[in-house]
Amino acid sequence: MPKDYSSLKKKITTALENPERGKTLLVAVKRGRDARRDQLATLENPEQFRESIKEIKTSSIENMDALLAKFTKKCEQNGNKVFLARDGKEVVDYILDLANKKNVTLIEKSKSLTTEEIELNHHLQQGKKDLAVVETDLGERIIQLVNEKPYHLVFPAIHKTQSEVAEIFTKATGNQIPNDLTAIMDAVRKHLRPTFLNSQLGITGANIAVAETGSIVVETNEGNARLVSAVPDIHVVVVGMEKIIGTWEEALKLVMAHPISATGTRLTNYVSIVTERLPLGGLSKENRELHVIILDNGRSKMREDPWLKEGLNCIRCGACMNACPTYGVVGGHVFGYIYPGPIGIPWTEEVHGLDKAAEFAPLCISCGLCKEICPAEIDIPMMIAKVKEEDVEKNGQLTPNKILSRSDDFAKLASATAPLSNWVIQSRVSRSFMDRFLGIEKKRKLPEFKRKTLEKQFKSIKEPVPNPKSKIVYFVDIAANYNEPELGVKAVGLLQQSGVEVELSSKLRPSGMPYISYGELKKAKEIAEWNVNILADYVEKGYDVVATEPTAVYCLKFAYPKLLDNSKKSLDVARKSFEYFEYLTLKGDSQNLKKSGKISDSGTIGFHIPCHQRALSSGKFTIAALQSAGYQVKVIETGTCCGMAGTFGLKKGPLGYDLSMAVGKPLFDLFNDESPAIKIIATESSVCTTQLEDGTKCELVHPLNLIAVNDSQKK
Ligand code: SF4
Ligand code: SF4
């Protein structure tokens, strides 16, 4: 019996029942996304910058052993002590030993996720009863006072409102703190000052450790780490071994990358470099000690894991949290264990174990947005799919996931028996049965199946194209074959009219994306291999590959190569794969379009960018084609997902429809606010179409149905 995620579902429902908290979170993550976007726009070459971050991290992880040895040697030469801790317990034991030897009773800390990872504060206080450990970062202090875990990697108390913070400090200080920012900050300063002055030992994390000089870099916006590292006689740094890089040149790039991605600023307020222990205020250097504890805790194991090692490239900027549609709705106490958000899933799996990670991994709906925003371009969605696979292997697959993964078999059968199948599927009895026993939400409109699939019609619509300008093989996927073959017919017709020879292979299978989403990677790999083998033969014969479904192109260009270890064939196919309108543009035909005449409305067309299309062109070719056909187009977007996420939104309950609609709500509101000026939404994704039909008052139309080729231009 597979586990039913009842605790996760309960937490999601509770989160959805608190719309006020939801709104606060959505505003905060959007602010983070917007600030980052604006800051990136000031860079001369943002893509190159991203590439350089990826390169620095990848090569550092490759050379981790050598860098670790070099850092240790240099750091010790600077007069410091270096200790390599295999796990959290060794860190705790080391610091407790130090605290006992030096009679330490008060420790101050600056924000450090690495110490959160090993629950350092708790274990220190358990190990030495007269020891107090005080967090000095405002967000960390707030969550310490209320005994919670971080809600966000960068802003641990992002979920707390100002009035809640005032209350927390009222309780902590015994003084009535009014709900006023200046008053709160004043109270916090007074509250923390004795800690800064009296701590005998300060613990910081490190954003970077630089091997060439054995130095560490600590970045904070509040300046607290500077006091924590400078005032007490003993400074202990706890740094994850993945933070070690080679040179200062690299370090400077990371120092830039952190604030741009984390807070959308050019530089963090306080960048402290610690190389050796210096006297405080001209006093003696005697008794001043620096201990650097380098933590492994699963990182070496992670480095050996071909699927998860990329996670070590994480620079902890938190940007993936700001992009993740489900995190943005449920927050870090549902979407996280200690490490919250997208990267929290693989990290939790590595450092806290599969069971903890599997508790929130199903919240990933495989939209791919975290990878898009990540400054180190980490393929977080695929790492999560791997975690899900391990979970499925251990705990079994849920019934709706099983059914929806096999939607290609289902579509084949339903289409072969249509229209009877449609009647059966749509009947109230069937929908109730599916809802109750299969977990498919009965409120969700299901697509109709057509008996005359595109495949069946292809022979009759295929036309000889004399002297074709190019040849393509159409990767059809499910919707344009079984549900909307007329769309497929239109796609083929337009290309042929533009002088492109079109082929179809009935051997090709649908993209298999649901297998990735539900953690059945072996199956996904099998499909990838199958499709790539067929398509590679076409590519070798000079064909290009074109798809009308953005997710299909996403699979061809990104998911298949990843599943197939970047095999030559998969990369050849990826290079030759195109979105439909991208291809029309490439062949110079997107300028020769006119309105199809099917739509009488002359207003502006609202355009929705499906998530997987963001990794491709963000719809720019389609928008340009619609504009060249004479439409006014307005992109309406929240910057994240519509919530449908393939088949996720078809499922019943909190881990499906409920969450899906909550994710989509801000986008629905935007479209509905534009109504009646916008009555039509154009989008290329069949599943986004279903979601927007359910959530908005607008009519959904595929862009292909809005255009025709100018007669004078027909080849
Ligand atoms: S793929 Fe999408 S849903 Fe999954 S973790 Fe990344 S951003 Fe979140
Ligand atoms: S995974 Fe990427 S986006 Fe997320 S915190 Fe790490 S570096 Fe930032």
- CB of 389 within 8 A of CB of 521? yes
- In the reported structure, the alpha carbon of residue 342 is separated from the centroid of ligand 1 by a whole-number distance in angstroms of 6
The length of the chain in residues reads 715
Residue 318 CA to ligand 2 centre (angstroms): 5
- Ligand approaching nearest to the C-alpha of 382: 1
Task: State in Å: Cα 268 to ligand 1 middle.
Answer: 27
Q: Which residues partner with 595 through β-bridges?
A: 707
Closest of 421, 581, 412 to residue 490, by C-alpha: 581
CB 217 within 8 A of CB 251: yes
Q: Residue 444: what pLDDT?
A: 94
Q: What is the structure's pLDDT at 456? A: 96
Considering the entire predicted model, what is its pTM?
0.95
Q: Which of 54, 57, 207, 343 to mutate to test the pocket of ligand 2 (most atoms within 8 A of CB)?
A: 343
The residues with which 109 forms a beta bridge, in sequence order, are 135, 203
**Could you give the CA distance from residue 501 to residue 492 in angstroms, rounded to a whole number?**
9
Spatial separation of the C-alpha atoms in residues 96 and 89, rounded to whole Å: 10
How crowded is residue 283: how many other Cβ atoms within 10 Å of its Cβ? 10
DSSP conformational letter for 99: H
CA distance 671 to 696: 7
| Of 165, 154, 162, 158, residue with least CA distance to 265 | 154
Q: Give the residue from 478, 56, 432 showing the smallest Cα distance to 245.
A: 56
Q: Which atom from ligand 2 is nearest to the alpha carbon of 341?
A: 4
**Residue that has been written with the tokens 């769309």 in this structure:** 487
As for ligand 2, residues whose beta carbon falls within 6 Å of it are 153, 261, 314-320, 343, 373-376, 378, 380
Contacts 24+ apart (CB under 8 A), 137-145: 137/110, 137/111, 137/220, 137/222, 137/224, 137/225, 138/188, 138/222, 139/111, 140/109, 140/111, 141/188, 141/192, 142/168, 145/169, 145/171, 145/172
Does ligand 1 lie within 6 Å of residue 611's CB atom?
A: no
Q: Where are the alpha helices (DSSP H) in 102-135?
A: 113-117, 120-127
Q: Are 589 and 713 in contact (CB under 8 A)?
A: yes
In the chain, which residues fall in CATH 1.10.1060.10?
6-17+300-396
| CA–CA dist 577, 714 (Å, integer) | 24
Residue 440, judged by CB atoms within 10 A of its CB (0-12, 13-18, 19+), counts as buried
CA 549 to chain centre: 21
Pick from 58, 315, 347 the residue to mutate for probing ligand 2's pocket: most ligand atoms within 8 Å of its CB.
315
Query: In the CATH scheme, what is the code of domain 43-297?
Result: 3.40.50.10420
CA angle (577, 579, 581) in 5-degree steps: 135
Nearest protein Cα to ligand 2, atom 8: 317
Asked if residues 311 and 346 have their Cβ atoms less than 8 Å apart, the reply is yes
**DSSP of 383-415, one letter per residue?**
HHHHHHHHHHHHH---HHHHHHHTHHHHHHHHH
Out of 326, 349, 554, 659, give the residue to mutate to test ligand 1, the one with the largest number of ligand atoms within 8 Å of its CB: 326
Q: How far is CA 423 from the centre of its chain?
A: 39
Q: Provide the CA 416 distance to its chain's centre, in angstroms.
A: 38
Task: Identify the residue whose tokens are 């902590």.
Answer: 172
Ligand 1 neighbourhood includes 698 CB (under 6 angstroms): no
> Which of 313, 339, 349, 374 has most ligand 2 atoms within 8 Å of its beta carbon, as the pocket-test mutant?
374
Task: Judge if the beta carbon of residue 517 lies within 6 A of ligand 1.
Answer: no
Considering the chain, tell me which residue range(s) the CATH 3.40.50.10420 domain(s) occupy: 43-297
The residue nearest atom 7 of ligand 1, judged by CA position, is 324
Within the chain, which residue ranges are assigned CATH 1.20.1050?
Answer: 454-586
Distance 689 CA to ligand 1 centre (A): 20
Give the Cα separation of 703 and 319 in Å (integer): 32
The tokens of 228 are what? 């924590």
Atom 2 (ligand 1) nearest CA: 367
Question: Cα separation of 515 and 504, whole Å?
Answer: 24
Q: Which atom of ligand 2 is nearest to the CA of 321?
A: 4
Q: What is the mean pLDDT of each run of 10 residues along the chain (715 residues)?
A: 88 93 90 94 92 97 98 98 98 98 97 97 96 97 96 92 96 96 96 96 98 98 95 97 98 96 93 93 83 97 94 96 96 96 97 96 97 96 97 95 91 94 93 94 93 96 93 96 96 93 95 96 98 98 98 98 98 98 87 77 88 96 94 94 96 97 96 89 96 95 90 57
Task: Measure the CA dihedral 126/89/274/284, to 10°.
Answer: 60
Q: Which ligand 1 atom is nearest residue 368's CA?
A: 1
Torsion of CA 286, 287, 292, 297, to 10 degrees: 170
What atom of ligand 1 comes closest to residue 381's alpha carbon?
1
How many Å lie between the centroid of ligand 1 and the Cα of residue 535?
29
**CATH architecture for the domain at 593-713:** 3-Layer(aba) Sandwich (3.40)
Tokens describing residue 566 = 């970047």
Ligand 1: residue of 366, 379, 558, 613 to mutate (most ligand atoms within 8 A of CB) is: 366
For residue 366, the ligand closest to its alpha carbon is 1
Task: Name residue 190's amino acid.
Answer: K
Please tell me whether the peptide bond between 464 and the residue prior to it is cis, using omega within 30 degrees of 0: no
Index of the ligand 2 atom closest to the CA of residue 323 = 3
For the beta carbon of residue 84, count every other beta carbon within 10 angstroms.
13
Q: Provide φ and ψ at 203, rounded to 5°.
A: -115, 130
Beta strands at 604-607 and 470-474: parallel, antiparallel or unpaired? unpaired
Whose alpha carbon is nearest atom 8 of ligand 1? 324
Residues 238, 115 contacting (CB under 8 angstroms): yes
CA-nearest residue for atom 5, ligand 1, is 342
CA angle, 311 then 314 then 315, to 5°? 170
CA of 367 to the centre of ligand 1 (A): 5
CA atoms within 13 A on the CB side of 654: 20
**Cβ(364) to ligand 1 under 6 A?**
yes
From ligand 2's centre to the CA of 281, what distance in Å? 38
CA dihedral for 586, 588, 591, 597, sign (positive or negative): negative
- Using the mean position of ligand 2's atoms as its centre, give its distance from the Cα of residue 316 in Å: 5
Pick one of 1.10.1060.10, 3.40.50.620, 3.40.50.300, 3.90.1150.10 as the CATH number of 6-17+300-396: 1.10.1060.10
Pocket test of ligand 2: the residue of 54, 219, 261 to mutate, having most ligand atoms within 8 Å of its CB, is: 261
At the topology level of CATH, where does 454-586 sit?
Answer: Glutathione S-transferase Yfyf (Class Pi); Chain A, domain 2 (1.20.1050)
Of residues 570, 553, 561, the one with CA closest to residue 474:
553
Answer whether 380 contacts ligand 1 (Cβ < 6 A): yes
- Give yes or no for a contact between 206 and 316, defined as CB atoms under 8 angstroms apart: no
**280 contacts 319 by C-beta, under 8 angstroms:** no
- 286-310 b/e (C-beta count within 10 Å ≥ 16 → b): eebbbbbbbbbbbbeebbebebbbb
Among 381, 387, 430, 390, residue whose Cα is nearest residue 410: 430
Q: What is the DSSP letter of 309?
A: G
- Ligand 1 centroid–CA 502 distance in Å is 35
Q: Are 241 and 67 in contact (CB under 8 A)?
A: no
Locus of tokens 């008053």: 183
d(CA 497, CA 382): 39
Measured in whole angstroms, the distance separating CA 320 from the mean position of its chain's CA atoms is 5
